[in-house]
Amino acid sequence: MSGSDSPVALVTGSAKRLGKQIICRLHQAGYRVIIHFNHSADAASSLADSLNQQRPNSALTLQANLLDNKAVAQLGTAALSCFGRLDVLVNNASSFYPTPLASATLENWDDLFGSNVKAPYFLAQALAPALSNNNGCIINMVDIHASQPLQDHSIYCMAKAALLMMTKSLARELAPTIRVNGIAPGAILWPSQQLAEADKAEILQQIPLQRTGTPDDIANTVLFLLQSPYISGQIIAVDGGRSLGAAQKA
């Protein structure tokens, strides 16, 4: 497939961390990619430059604050103007931090629901016609804590639970021309905020495989879903077995 007719993927929050690895894997698989960022302009630009050196005119960047309703709509329009088509939307951008009930604020609610649910929903709305034209795919980055609550993270967990249901609902609504699936990562990268070694050890004890995953595990699962035309409405846990729950001893 030549560069001018190769498929196009938009990955939100893709200048760094998991999003960056997803971009790199899709680019390696022949996709033209759109790197979305909010504040990480330098990292996004550097990534695009690197990918364009590998394959000219194969990567572009777009800035948008996903908490800004107008910016989300504008991101959809801008994404379609990048390469004139869209085949894949990966809703990866996400806010994550604790919100104990006693100190949670309306701003926390708007931030966590805005980034994890509202932006993915309305971005899907804006891009559905273009995705439908190419029998495209939407992949939402859910979380194993969408169904198993994380202590002191109630708003985040509720938002991810809503994203899980959105994934299933849109898989039904947008069929048969668009497939919608989700990925629920476990412990892949430690949070940006510092985590004590004791807390890391406690998390590892909950994982049957006894280790963290890697960004490659998520990127490979994205590519697997894109290459699996009869899978829709599914949430794949990539968590080393952590969602199985604690082992029961006889």
β-pairing, 59-63 vs 32-37, is: parallel
Alpha carbons 90 and 242: distance in angstroms, whole number = 24
Give the closest residue to 116 by CA, choosing from 73, 67, 68: 67
Decide: helix, strand or coil at residue 111: helix
DSSP lists the bridge partners of residue 8 as: 32
Annotated catalytic residue within 31, 97, 121, 156: 156
- Asked whether the beta carbons of 143 and 191 are under 8 A apart, the reply is no
Task: Please enumerate, as own/partner, the contacts of 65-72 that have beta carbons within 8 Å and a separation of 24 or more.
Answer: 65/38, 66/12, 66/38, 66/93, 66/114, 66/115, 66/119, 66/123, 67/110, 67/111, 67/114, 67/115, 67/119, 69/122, 72/118, 72/119, 72/122, 72/123, 72/126
Decide: helix, strand or coil at residue 62: strand
Alpha carbons 105 and 231: distance in angstroms, whole number = 38
Reading the block at residue 235, the tokens are 């949430």
* Residue 31 is a catalytic residue: no
DSSP code string of 75-97 = HHHHHHHHHS---EEEE------
What is the set of active-site residues?
Answer: 156
